[in-house]
Amino acid sequence: MLKDDPVKQADIFAKHYSSVRESEEPFPEDLHTQDLNSPVLAVPEFNPREVQVAMENLDTKQSPGPDGLHPKVLKVLAVVISAP
């Protein structure tokens, strides 16, 4: 039975979707290769003192971020963490 056979189900989907859109246009050869050596994201420069000041100004009434560290911990350890 079709509902019990995932292979048959996959075959039906594959046949259907392979015929939905058949492009007559050739695939571009240079897609996403314009300049792979150029920087995608500019990384801002900052020094240890700027990091320390930013950490010392954290709002300790906020909850921890995705890293699980509470702002109070980061604020107390700002001098240690920001050191090179």
Q: pTM of the entire structure? A: 0.49
- 77: confidence class by pLDDT, cuts 50, 70, 90: very high
Q: Which domain holds residue 53?
A: 46-84
- Across the range 58-74, mean pLDDT stands at 94
Per-range mean pLDDT, top range of 21-30, 35-44, 56-65: 56-65
pLDDT for 27 beyond 90: no
* Mean pLDDT, the chain, whole residue set: 84
Number of domains the chain is built from? 1
Contacts of residue 59, Cβ cutoff 8 Å, sequence gap at least 6: 71
1 in a structural domain = no
